[in-house]
Structure 1
Amino acid sequence: MMAFKGFGPKAIPFLKALDFHQSREWFLENRDLFEQELRDPLGDLVDTLTQRFAEAGLGLRGDRKKSLFRINRDVRFAKDKRPYNRHVSAILSPDGSKAVQGVFYIHIGLEGCFAGVAWWQPEAALLLAMRRAIETWPDRFRAMVKALKKNGLELSAEDAMKRTPRGFEHVTDEDLVAAIRNRHFAVRHVIDPAGIHGPELVEELVDFTMRAKPLLDWGRAIEGRIAKD
């Protein structure tokens, strides 16, 4: 395992150039630069965070190959046919795969740099269980939200439903209604692009994930109840 030392100084300039050219020929000519400045450091970051998360008991891990998303875009069903993403990203999860929920996500790109802890687009049964938990045990949900707020975080309302989903119309408390309308349960940490080039990023990300632990604990408790049913 290589300890994370930072993304290369040309990491963001490379993404800008790739976004300008959007050419397989250009990418292949500059592949070594991509690997040195972005891909290999991201793999190092995944390995380093896996070790640090294990030490902190966070239950999140990854693999420098399987955890990284491809720079190539899947354009089969997309109107936008540009072949390359404008970012690199990776996921650390409870089992190290991309197929489970309750994950840590890292995103380094032209749209911005950020990390997230999330249940993102959970399958219908899990999303329903999370909504039922908010309805049935509101004090537990509010305690989680309060703990996040104390830690400087708040649940994202991105992509929330405009109307209350069927079966929850009787819920009237505004905070609970807003939460039940969520399609995702996530918190986010914005990373200063200037801060991606050094090993200090690891401490920043470990600190964020520790502060997001109330959300991890809340979601995992719900998943545990589903597993018992």
Structure 2
Amino acid sequence: MAPFQGFGDKAIAFLKALDFHQNREWFLENRDIFEKHLKEPLGDLVEELTERFAKAGLPFKGDRVKSLFRIKRDTRFSRDKAPYNRHLSALLSVSGSKWDESGCFYVCIGLPGVRDCYAGVAWWSPRPALLAAMRQSIVDEPERFRAMVAALKKNGLTFSDHDRLKRNPRGFETVNGPDLVAAIRNRHFVVRMEIDPAEITDPALADRLFDFAMRARPLID
């Protein structure tokens, strides 16, 4: 495992140029910049975090091959036909698969204002049966849920309200209390850390991401 030395100083500039050009010929001409400044460092970061998470008893793992998402987009069902993403991202999970439903640690290096640079600990779009069970657990054990929220808040983290339902889901119509209503309307359970693009070249980014995962531990547990 190569220690994470930070992303290359051309990482964001490459993504900006890729956003402008968006063609295969330009990408192939500049692929060495992509590999050196983005893909290889992200692989190093995934493997370093996997090792550090294991030592700390955090359940997420990955590797430099399976954990990274492709820079090339699948445009078959998208209105946006641009062939390349404006970001590069990776996901660590309990099984090491990108499709694990047991929660994940996600990191994204992207263009400010487009996809941004950030990390998240999440249960993202759980399948319906799992989401219903999570909602029922909140209703059945409200004080346990509130204790988790309080612990996250103490650690400087709050749940994202992204894509939250406008109304209570079916079967939960009678739930009341503002905090419980907000919780059961969630489609996802996510805490997030913003990453300053100016700091992605710093090897200490790995330390900040590890600290974020530890602060998210009430949700993980």
Question: What interval of TM-score do these two structures reach, taking the shorter chain for normalisation?
Answer: over 0.9
Task: Tell me how far 1:14 sits from its aligned partner.
Answer: 0.3
**2:109 paired residue number:** 108
CA distance in 1, matches of 2:174, 2:35: 54
Per-residue displacement from partner, 1:1-21 (whole Å, max 9, x unpaired)?
111000000000000001100
Query: Are 2:173 and 1:150 aligned?
Result: no
**1:68 paired residue number:** 68
**2:218 paired residue number:** 214
Q: Secondary structure at the match of 1:112?
A: coil
**1:57 paired residue number:** 57
Correspondence list, 1:63-142, <5 A: 63-101=63-101, 102-110=103-111, 111-142=115-146
CA distance in 2, matches of 1:87, 1:73: 11
Query: Are 2:161 and 1:160 aligned?
Result: no
Q: State the number of aligned residues.
A: 217
**1:180 paired residue number:** 184
What runs of 5+ residues in structure 1 fail to find an aligned partner? 218-229
Task: Tell me how far 1:25 sits from its aligned partner.
Answer: 0.4
Task: Tell me how far 1:99 sits from its aligned partner.
Answer: 1.4
CA distance in 2, matches of 1:211, 1:178: 22
CA distance in 1, matches of 2:52, 2:205: 12
CA distance in 2, matches of 1:100, 1:214: 20
Task: Tell me how far 1:149 sits from its aligned partner.
Answer: 0.2
Task: Tell me how far 1:44 sits from its aligned partner.
Answer: 0.4
Task: Tell me how far 1:100 sits from its aligned partner.
Answer: 1.1
Could you list the structure 1 runs, at least 4 aligned residues long, displaced by more than 2 angstroms after superposition.
none
**1:190 paired residue number:** 194
Q: Secondary structure at the match of 1:179?
A: helix
Q: Percent identity?
A: 66
TM-score (normalised: structure 1): 0.94
Per-residue displacement from partner, 1:98-149 (whole Å, max 9, x unpaired)?
1113100000010311000000000011100000001100011000000000
Query: Are 2:16 and 1:12 aligned?
Result: no
Per-residue displacement from partner, 1:156-208 (whole Å, max 9, x unpaired)?
11000001011111111111011000000000000111111021001100000
**1:35 paired residue number:** 35
Task: Tell me how far 1:70 sits from its aligned partner.
Answer: 0.2
CA distance in 2, matches of 1:60, 1:47: 11
CA distance in 1, matches of 2:30, 2:211: 34
Q: Which letter maps to 2:203?
A: P
Greater shift in the superposed pair: 95-104 or 81-90: 95-104
CA distance in 1, matches of 2:202, 2:178: 43
